[in-house]
Amino acid sequence: MTNDKLIDCLKGKKLLILAGASLHCKVVEAAKQLGVYTIVTDYMETSPAKEMADEKWLLNITDVDAIVERCKAVNIDGVLSVCIDPAQRPYQQICERLGLPCFGNKQQHYILTDKQAFKNFCIENSVDTIFEYTIGDIREDNVVYPILIKPVDSRGSRGQTVCYSVDTTEEAIRFAKSESSNGNIIIEKYMAENQDFSMSYLVVNGEPHLIRTGDRYLGHEADGLSKQCIFAISPSFSTDLYLRNVHPKVVDFIKNLGIQNAPLFMQGFLDGDTVRFYDPGLRLPGTEYEILFSKATGTDLMKILVTFALTGIMVCNFGSVSNGYRLNGKYAVQMYISARAGLIAVFEGLDRIAKHPDIISISQRYEVGETIPSSGDVKQRVCEIGMLASDADSARKLVKWVQSNLIVLDEKHENMLVSLIDPDLL
């Protein structure tokens, strides 16, 4: 089917998008370009994607019953959840009850949202994971510190604590259980000194296509951001190692899980000649990488996913995903600029940065007059900047230039930016 015929087929169909954060604006935009009628729902009166959509609903994405009832009443043709954890299980339930295309079934979503189930399936399929302890190991002093204690299913580092001795473990266990939907937790070796690594696949008719490898750099412990990504670059500098030693096992993992048509990502740590995984998702990661991917390869992942949601077919009319992770020789850089807690009095530089030809996307999360919390998570991000560079050296220079032009000050005119990346470390 040609693009014109496909667009004619999609025109006027109704697509419900779960959640309206700025990350979903690219979904609304892609759907509108295909002539699709867009609806965004979440619990917020207003949100960035809602302002772009044709219609907005004030229904929490976890209120499955209410969403299903409303969808039936207005004859929704497709539902889509692209890049946030809380929407994954409700998305599957909504699609199942409406008989609409979905990235996976209940069991597949469970394995890729529950960290313990994911870990068990990895072990069954010879995919390496992080060494794990039990509460009994802690009480019997059979632990090598530091360790990470976390819920099995929380998001954005919520409920996680790094423990450097037994003294803090009891409180960390209580905290993790409080943030877990079922009270279950995971206790692992803390591997923050290892390079953080992530990858994404697009599965088309049962065949996984690698569309991203990336090195993720975490914030500084002194800033309380040691579990938060502050910088990512793709392709990973360890892509060859991954292709040689890990990729075949992950492909088997995906096929054995029975995934047919879906995006899928996993995060882990490099450890010698392997990657030890700790977090998955039957979705894309919550970044703007897809915009950079489209610019570098000409392949529009958002249009591919919108089409699937409305037809059940993962067509590649909008570009090839074969060897997409190579980005046609370019480097995709994503900067997650964070700031310490306080009131923003000055926020300058984004206008100038946006004019640079290699800057592809900018998302500003805070405005002057707003207060940044001391949360230790994504709530401390003030903006996200995406760029494409012709080579690694150009990427380093561009990162340095961006950081020198961005100014965020508090009421005392003191710098608020923290955990900035050292470009020379890349």
Res 22 pLDDT > 90: no
- 130, part of any domain: no
CATH number at 179 reads 3.30.1490.20
pLDDT-derived band at 155 (thresholds 50, 70, 90) equals: low
Same domain? For 102 and 142 the reply is: no
- 86, part of any domain: yes
pLDDT of amino acid 226: 84
Mean pLDDT of the residues in the chain: 94
Packed helices 301-311 and 25-33: angle between N→C axes, nearest 10 degrees: 70
Residue type, 3: N
- 391, part of any domain: yes
pLDDT digits (tens, 9 = 90+) for 25-84: 999 999 999 999 999 999 999 999 999 999 999 999 999 999 999 999 999 999 999 989
Boundary (domain end) residue, out of 80, 112, 144: 112
pLDDT digits (tens, 9 = 90+) for 178-236: 988 888 899 999 998 899 999 999 999 999 999 999 999 989 989 999 878 999 999 99
- 123, part of any domain: no
- 122, part of any domain: no
As a whole number of angstroms, the distance between CA 298 and CA 319 comes to 6
Residue 41, CA distances (Å) to 7, 53, 104, 393 in order: 24, 10, 21, 42
Boundary (domain end) residue, out of 97, 112, 127: 112
Same domain? For 167 and 248 the reply is: no
Question: What are the φ/ψ torsions at residue 235 (nearest 5 degrees)?
Answer: -65, 155
As a whole number of angstroms, the distance between CA 50 and CA 362 comes to 18
pLDDT of amino acid 410: 97
Same domain? For 256 and 323 the reply is: yes
Which pTM does this prediction carry? 0.89
Same domain? For 150 and 224 the reply is: no
Same domain? For 227 and 306 the reply is: yes
As a whole number of angstroms, the distance between CA 255 and CA 268 comes to 20
CATH number at 7 reads 3.40.50.20
Domain count along the chain: 3
Query: With contact defined as beta carbons under 8 Å apart, do 255 and 100 qualify?
Result: no
pLDDT-derived band at 317 (thresholds 50, 70, 90) equals: low
Among 275, 287, 417, which Cα is nearest to 361's? 287
pLDDT digits (tens, 9 = 90+) for 225-276: 987 899 999 999 999 999 999 999 999 999 999 999 999 999 999 999 999 9
Domain limits at 165?
135-189
Same domain? For 158 and 274 the reply is: no
pLDDT of amino acid 6: 77
Res 1 pLDDT > 80: no
- 392, part of any domain: yes
Same domain? For 258 and 402 the reply is: yes
- 121, part of any domain: no
As a whole number of angstroms, the distance between CA 182 and CA 176 comes to 11
Among 127, 124, 128, 95, which Cα is nearest to 109's? 95
Residue 204, CA distances (Å) to 239, 241, 308, 367 in order: 22, 24, 10, 40
